[in-house]
Amino acid sequence: MTTANLLEFDLEGLAAFCEKLGEKKFRATQLFRWIHQRGASDFAQMTDLAKSLREKLAGTARVEALPVLSRHESADGTIKWLFDVGDGNAVEAVFIPEDDRGTLCVSSQAGCAVGCRFCSTGHQGFSRNLTAGEIVAQLWFAEHFLRKHLKRDERVISNVVMMGMGEPLQNYSALVPALRTMLDDNAYGLSRRRVTVSTSGVVPMMDRLGTDCPVALAVSLHAPNDALRDDLVPLNRKYPIAELLDACRRYLAHAPRDFITFEYCMLDGVNDQPEHAQQLIELVRPRGGQGGVSCKFNLIPFNPFPASGLLRSPQPRVLAFAKALSEAGIVTTVRKTRGDDIDAACGQLAGDVKDRTRAAERMAQRRLTEHTVAMHPARRAAAAPDVQEH
| Residues within the interface to ligand SF4 (CB under 6 A) | 112, 114-116, 119, 121-122, 166-167, 200, 220
Cα separation, 94 vs 304, in Å, equals: 19
Query: Is-contact 388 100, C-beta < 8 A?
Result: yes
Q: Which is nearer to ligand SF4, 13 or 166 (CB)?
A: 166
The listed partner (ligand SF4, ligand SAH, none) that binds 271, CB under 5 to 8 Å by sort, is none
Catalytically active residues are 92, 346
Binding string, residues 265-304; x marks residues near ligand SAH by CB under 6 A: x----------------------------------x-xx-
Query: Is-contact 378 301, C-beta < 8 A?
Result: yes
255-270 in b/e burial notation, b at 16+ Cβ within 10 A? bebebbbbbbbbbeeb
Cα separation, 365 vs 368, in Å, equals: 5
Tell me which residues in 139-168 interact with ligand SAH (CB under 6 A). Answer: 163, 167
Closest distance to ligand SAH from the beta carbon of 141 (Å): 20
* Rounded to 5°, angle at Cα 178 from 197 and 211: 60
Residue among 28, 49, 93, 119 that touches ligand SAH (CB under 6 A): 119
Q: Which is nearer to ligand SAH, 35 or 373 (CB)?
A: 373
Closest distance to ligand SAH from the beta carbon of 383 (Å): 7
Residues 6+ apart with CB under 8 A from 266: 272, 299, 300, 301, 302, 312, 313, 317, 318, 321
The listed partner (ligand SF4, ligand SAH, none) that binds 132, CB under 5 to 8 Å by sort, is none
The listed partner (ligand SAH, ligand SF4, none) that binds 115, CB under 5 to 8 Å by sort, is ligand SF4
Q: Which is nearer to ligand SAH, 170 or 186 (CB)?
A: 170
Nearest partner of 89 among 131, 45, 150, judged by Cα: 131
Residues 6+ apart with CB under 8 A from 124: 111, 112, 367, 370, 371, 374
Interface ranges with ligand SAH (CB under 6 A): 118-120, 163, 167, 198-200, 220, 263, 265, 300, 302-303, 378-379, 382
